[in-house]
Amino acid sequence: MHDILRTIVEQKHKEVTLLKSQFSIDDLKQQALFNRTCYSAKKAILDDNKSGIISEFKRQSPKKGPINAKADIQKVVESYQEANASVVSVLTDELFFGAHDDDFDRARKQLSIPLLRKDFLIDPYQIYQSKAMGADLILLIAAILTPAEVERMSRIAKDLGLEILLEIHNETELNHINPLIDLVGINNRNLKDFSVDLNHSIKLSEQIPNTFVKVAESGIKGENDIRFLKSNGFQAFLIGEYFMKHDNPGQICSELTHNLSLLKSKTMKLKVCGLKRPENIERIAKIDIDFMGFIFVERSKRFVGDTLNKEITRKIPKHIKKIAVFVNARSEDILWTLKDYEYEFDFIQCHGDEKPQYCNDLKKLGFGIIKAFQMDEEFNFDQLEAYESVVDYYLFDTSSKNYGGSGRKFDWSLLEKYKGNKPFFLSGGIRPEDVQQLQKLDHPQLFAIDINSGFEDEPGLKNVSHVNMFCNELKQTTRTNK
Q: Nearest 5°: CA angle at 99, between 98 and 100?
A: 120
**pLDDT, tens only, 394-412:** 999 999 888 877 789 999 9
pLDDT of residue 265: 62
Check whether domain 3-265 has CATH 3.20.20.70, yes or no: yes
Residues labelled as active-site residues: 56, 58, 118, 167, 187, 217-218
CATH architecture designation of domain 267-474: Alpha-Beta Barrel (3.20)
pTM across the whole model: 0.63
The C-alpha torsion from 232 through 238 and 241 to 247, rounded to 10°, is 110
Up-side HSE of residue 386: CA atoms within 13 Å toward CB? 10
Average pLDDT over residues 248-252: 95
The more confidently predicted of residues 233 and 250 is 250
Task: Compute the distance between CA of residue 7 and CA of residue 10 in angstroms, rounded to an integer.
Answer: 5
Domain parsing of the chain, residue ranges = 3-265, 267-474
Average pLDDT over residues 143-153: 97
**pLDDT, tens only, 275-324:** 999 999 999 999 999 999 999 999 999 999 889 988 999 899 888 999 99
Question: Is 267-474 in the same CATH topology as 3-265?
Answer: yes
Cβ-contact 108, 133 below 8 angstroms: yes
End-to-end Cα distance, the chain: 51
Task: Compute the distance between CA of residue 265 and CA of residue 446 in angstroms, rounded to an integer.
Answer: 12
Average pLDDT over residues 125-146: 98
pLDDT of residue 234: 92
pLDDT of residue 480: 38
Supply the DSSP string of 36-99, one letter for each residue: SPPP-HHHHHH-TTS--EEEEE-SEETTTEESSTT--HHHHHHHHHHTT-SEEEEE--STTT--
pLDDT of residue 482: 39
